[in-house]
Amino acid sequence: MTLVVVAIPVVRADAASRALEHAAEAKALGADMVEWRIDAMAEAEEAVQAAMRLVRESPLPCIVTIRDESEGGAFSGDEADRLRIWSALADAQAPPAYLDIELSAVRESQQTKEFVASRHRREGHEDSPRVILSFHDFRGRPPGLSGKTAELWADPSAAIAKIAWTARTERDNLEAFELMQARAKPTIALCMGEHGLMSRVLAPKFGGFLTYARLDEHGTAPGQPSLHELLNEWSIRSIDSSTRVFGVMGYPISHSRSPAVHNAWFRAAKVNGRLFPISVAPIWEAFKATLGEFLACKGLDFSGAAVTAPHKVHALRYLEECAGTIEESARRAGAVNTIVHGASGALRGLNTDVLALEEVLGAAMAHGRRGRELKGARALVLGAGGAARAAVAALAAAGASVTILNRTPRHAAAIANSYERPKRKGSSRSAHAHPEVVAHSSAHMGAERFDLIANCTTVGMQGGATPEGDPLPERVELDESVLVFDAVYTPKDTPLLKRAMSAGARTLGGESMFEAQAALQFKAWTGKLPPRG
């Protein structure tokens, strides 16, 4: 079983009482162990006495760590200061379960090397703490990672090997999984930083010895999830070797509600799956490499992906190159937002945005004060990415006439051209046989009127490049006869929707569309719609 360890920093000797209260809270919430991070107080005269108290009164088994500043800690004193505390704790009547000591300290200090070796000779004695021999790199993936790991495994003094580095991308997590699978002794392998969440949460799937959590906002390493998140939102206790893994792939991705929504549905439906945010740089090569490596990772059981901006067209291209099955919804949109990876290895792509937009836009138009059908309506679509392609496909299929407006006119024109009728019988030109889809330039946009305006850009999105922006030209008229839809759902009231409401227009936020398309994704992955309520 992978242990859940709450790391508790103790910055001053007189903070021991408060730290013990935190440990009691961690125990009540379900932690297995605490790590006393005492590097900030290790040079104080009272350090030994305070450390002895923390261990003696700890409500849970504990690790004591005095992390050197060279590996991301706060200790900058002489090695003798650490040895003084380690020796006192090792000889105490109630010692800690583990001492975390850096590999670099063993290499550089003969006294530390001898101390660690003495702990190894006493293993098996109840009064002897075991050594976690560790290596950390906060700059990125360390050169010679495999060699350093092999050195940790080969050292007989190390009861546990620990290696941690700052992930450059989510693909670094895959290497952590490989290390855990290949372990020669109990191993902790994790990635720090915003891209390392997966290695922390999925440690039980790959047999990691432990994973760390923070109790509050004061973590001891970047990227630590809170204990509540780890136990409740990620349900780490039920993760095992058969857990299926999914991802939402996009850039930026921190705003996405997909992990929270799908993981709640997995719990409610008793599906052993987890969906993670996967940030992928906004270029084809990054998408291709990331998806390919996740699909190929042994033991990961990567079963599918939700794809968001700016990678929906890239997802279609990937499936075409891999000879995957592309459903009609994706063909119509020219973009894929959902990938299914079957047990046989087959890939299938669909576009739940198209199906959801047909539903929510049709209902919103019909239920307005001046209700009408989409058929025959004049619609303006802002953008030319995957979401815009889905909106054009949905609206064109419903019989609306569609104008596409994008800051790069040729991208809008490329979408519009795919809806032109073939010029002659037998033409090989790709077409959706709809005569009322046109591209427009904002420079030539007059004071035009539309029945429906759909923003399918990321303008106005929290965490995006222009969170305060409004993509709709001022010349476009808004009043109570117009429905304004914004696919952005974070924040709920975007600058565009605020402007539309102030003009008296009807508005529809991205939340309803997001939930409708997410439910269809869940069905594609699991074979059933998510539980309601």
Given a cut of 80, is residue 443 above it in pLDDT? no
Query: In this structure, is residue 296 part of a structural domain?
Result: yes
pLDDT in tens, 172-184: 999 999 999 999 9
Q: How far is CA 108 from the centre of its chain?
A: 38
Please give the mean pLDDT across all residues of the chain.
92
Residue 444: CB partners within 8 Å, gap ≥ 6? none
Given a cut of 70, is residue 436 above it in pLDDT? yes
Q: Kindly state whether residues 188 and 102 are assigned to the same domain.
A: yes
Output the pTM of the full model.
0.89
Q: Which two tokens stand for residue 455?
A: 């923003």
The per-residue pLDDT for 126 is: 60
> Could you tell me which of 99, 95, 94 has the C-alpha nearest to residue 65?
99
Given a cut of 70, is residue 315 above it in pLDDT? yes
Given a cut of 90, is residue 13 above it in pLDDT? yes
Q: Which domain holds residue 425?
A: 367-510
Element (H, E) at 6: strand 3-9
Of 175, 204, 238, the residue at which a domain comes to its end is: 238
The per-residue pLDDT for 429 is: 38
Residue 217 to residue 237: CA distance in whole angstroms: 22
Q: Kindly state whether residues 310 and 434 are assigned to the same domain.
A: no
User: Which whole number is the average pLDDT over 58-79?
Assistant: 95
Query: In this structure, is residue 145 part of a structural domain?
Result: yes
Given a cut of 80, is residue 445 above it in pLDDT? no
Element (H, E) at 19: helix 16-29
Asked whether the beta carbons of 443 and 419 are under 8 A apart, the reply is no
Q: Kindly state whether residues 55 and 92 are assigned to the same domain.
A: yes
In total, how many domains does the chain have? Answer: 3
Query: In this structure, is residue 103 part of a structural domain?
Result: yes
Q: Kindly state whether residues 97 and 229 are assigned to the same domain.
A: yes
Residue type for position 33: M
Choose the catalytic residue: 162, 205, 288, 312: 312
Q: Kindly state whether residues 255 and 290 are assigned to the same domain.
A: yes
Range with the lowest mean pLDDT among 91-95, 181-185, 235-239, 288-292? 91-95
pLDDT in tens, 483-497: 999 999 999 999 999
Has 312 been annotated as catalytic? yes
Q: Kindly state whether residues 167 and 276 are assigned to the same domain.
A: no
State what percent of residues in the chain have pLDDT above 90.
84
pLDDT in tens, 212-252: 999 998 888 999 999 999 999 999 999 999 999 999 999 99
The per-residue pLDDT for 424 is: 44
Residue 430: what are its φ and ψ, rounded to 5°? -70, 130
| Apex 22 CA angle, 66 and 25, nearest 5 | 135
Task: Spell 456-474 as b/e; 16+ CB within 10 A means b.
Answer: bbbbbbeebeebeebbbbe
Helical H runs in 240-311?
258-269, 284-296
The per-residue pLDDT for 428 is: 41
432 band by pLDDT with thresholds 50, 70 and 90 = very low
Given a cut of 70, is residue 346 above it in pLDDT? yes
CA count, 13 A, side-chain hemisphere, 494: 31
Q: Kindly state whether residues 106 and 202 are assigned to the same domain.
A: yes
Of 186, 213, 238, the residue at which a domain comes to its end is: 238
pLDDT in tens, 99-116: 999 999 999 999 999 999
Residue 362 to residue 156: CA distance in whole angstroms: 68
Residue 496 to residue 485: CA distance in whole angstroms: 9
Q: Kindly state whether residues 75 and 193 are assigned to the same domain.
A: yes
Residue 67: what are its φ and ψ, rounded to 5°? -75, 130
Query: In this structure, is residue 453 part of a structural domain?
Result: yes
Given a cut of 70, is residue 259 above it in pLDDT? yes
Q: Kindly state whether residues 375 and 442 are assigned to the same domain.
A: yes
CATH number, domain containing residue 379: 3.40.50.720
Q: What is the DSSP string of 381-447?
A: EE--SHHHHHHHHHHHHTT-EEEEE-SSHHHHHHHHHTTSPPSSTT--------TTEEEE-GGG--S
The per-residue pLDDT for 433 is: 42
Q: Which residues pair with 136 in a beta bridge?
A: 164
The per-residue pLDDT for 430 is: 40
Of residues 465 and 525, more confidence is placed in 525
Of 238, 269, 294, the residue at which a domain comes to its end is: 238
pLDDT in tens, 15-35: 999 999 999 999 999 999 999
Q: Kindly state whether residues 275 and 195 are assigned to the same domain.
A: no
Of residues 91 and 443, more confidence is placed in 91
Residue 469 to residue 457: CA distance in whole angstroms: 11
User: Which whole number is the average pLDDT over 124-130?
Assistant: 73
372 band by pLDDT with thresholds 50, 70 and 90 = confident
Given a cut of 90, is residue 279 above it in pLDDT? yes
Q: Kindly state whether residues 139 and 35 are assigned to the same domain.
A: yes
State what percent of residues in the chain have pLDDT above 70.
94
Residue 513 to residue 519: CA distance in whole angstroms: 10
Q: Kindly state whether residues 260 and 203 are assigned to the same domain.
A: no
Query: In this structure, is residue 348 part of a structural domain?
Result: yes
301 band by pLDDT with thresholds 50, 70 and 90 = very high
The per-residue pLDDT for 373 is: 87
The per-residue pLDDT for 121 is: 64
